[in-house]
Amino acid sequence: MTQHDPLQADQIIEDLTFIQWVRGEKNAQTQEWEYRYQNHPGDRKVMDQAKLVVEGVPFQRRFISDSKVESAWQKLEAALDQTHEAAPNRFSPTRIHWKYAAAILVLIVAGMSVYQFYQSRFEIYVTDFGEREMIVLPDGSQVTMNANSTLRYQRRNPREVEMTGEIYFDIKKMSDPKAIGSKPFIVHTPDLDIHVLGTEFNVNSRQARTDILLEEGRIELDMLRQGRLEMLPGDFVSYSLAENRILKQATTRKPEVITSWKEGVLLLDSISLASTLTLLEETYDIKTVIQNVELGAKILVGGVPNDNLEMCVKALRTIYNLEIELTPDSLIVR
């Protein structure tokens, strides 16, 4: 197909190079399709329509059994064969009837495929280093994402999410048994699953472990190899799948120390300088170096701003009398 040929969706969906372009493959032919898409607005609409069909085909085959698909096509072909027996120059209501029936069938199947494809895709949220974001989920639950975190869920099931990084959840429980919020809310981390029944909690899944703080309500941890554990408000649990053990289980009296990041503040409650710098590495993707080893054990108490790295460093310098050099990619404590 040359650059000057008019495009027809029913033809290009069978073109192998077009299918490769839809799949994101890179070669000389797919580059021609990309050029045509970017530089020929008249072709873009047809290509978008064909793209939806190509993307929907695998889901059509997945949700409709092969036998049903084959049976439907046999019935359609038989009906079309009957119309071919009519004289080609005569007006044939039967031919028009099956022509429109076939068109409607194709539209219905294509529409189902596109809808199923849409529902099967993931909604994905990502925060960059130094970024914080609040999101309202389709069921009304609110999540606040700390820097360097990800959250994703299938559109058909927004009450089951996967996450990495650090996220604060405020889960909404709805009374309507038919509403989307009536389903259990489940959070999947690399280490464990969290089963939720309307509550507020903080999850930090970094450094080969997952830390959970429950502020309100009730949750149950499914630790895969360690069984289930129910948490009550104020409980803190740290679990590592890699080590196959609970690293820490306690009741915290100061949950605000763990959740202060939501307000753009880093509360330091008798924490070492070395641990504080680790938090900054996770938040800002910056390498930290302590040239004086003894300083790593220095205990910090207080709070510093955490929304801006430069402001955070200035506060550390002033409050704790530290000599800190901030370069574009590192933070050096002398």
DSSP H or E run through 268: strand 265-272
Indicate whether 47 belongs to any domain. Answer: yes
Indicate whether 1 belongs to any domain. Answer: no
Indicate whether 211 belongs to any domain. Answer: yes
Predicted confidence band of residue 306 (pLDDT cuts 50, 70, 90): confident
Indicate whether 2 belongs to any domain. Answer: no
Q: 287: closest CA among 321, 333, 334, 320?
A: 333
pLDDT, tens only, 232-289 = 999 999 999 999 999 999 998 889 999 989 988 888 888 999 999 999 999 999 999 9
- Which of 197, 228, 255 represents a domain boundary (last residue)? 255
Residues 175 and 50 in one domain: no
- Give residue 49's domain range: 9-119
| pLDDT in the model for residue 235 | 96
pLDDT, tens only, 70-90 = 454 454 445 445 544 444 444
Q: What are phi and psi for residue 183, nearest 5 degrees?
A: -80, 150
Residues 214 and 299 in one domain: no
- Which of 80, 104, 119 represents a domain boundary (last residue)? 119
Exposure string (b/e) for 273-298, b if CB count within 10 Å is 16 or more? Answer: beebbebbebbbebebebeeeebeeb
Please state, as a whole number, how many other Cβ atoms lie within 10 Å of the Cβ of residue 237: 20
Residues 155 and 40 in one domain: no
- Which of 92, 119, 146 represents a domain boundary (last residue)? 119
pLDDT, tens only, 1-16 = 555 677 877 678 778 8
Q: How many domains does the chain have?
A: 3
| pLDDT in the model for residue 142 | 94
Residues 147 and 165 in one domain: yes
The CATH number of the domain where 226 resides is what?
2.60.120.1440
Residues 161 and 245 in one domain: yes
Residues 129 and 251 in one domain: yes
| pLDDT in the model for residue 79 | 47
Does pTM surpass 0.85?
no
The CATH number of the domain where 310 resides is what?
3.55.50.30
Q: 278: closest CA among 290, 293, 270, 265?
A: 290
Indicate whether 154 belongs to any domain. Answer: yes
Residues 128 and 251 in one domain: yes
Residues 155 and 128 in one domain: yes
Indicate whether 82 belongs to any domain. Answer: yes
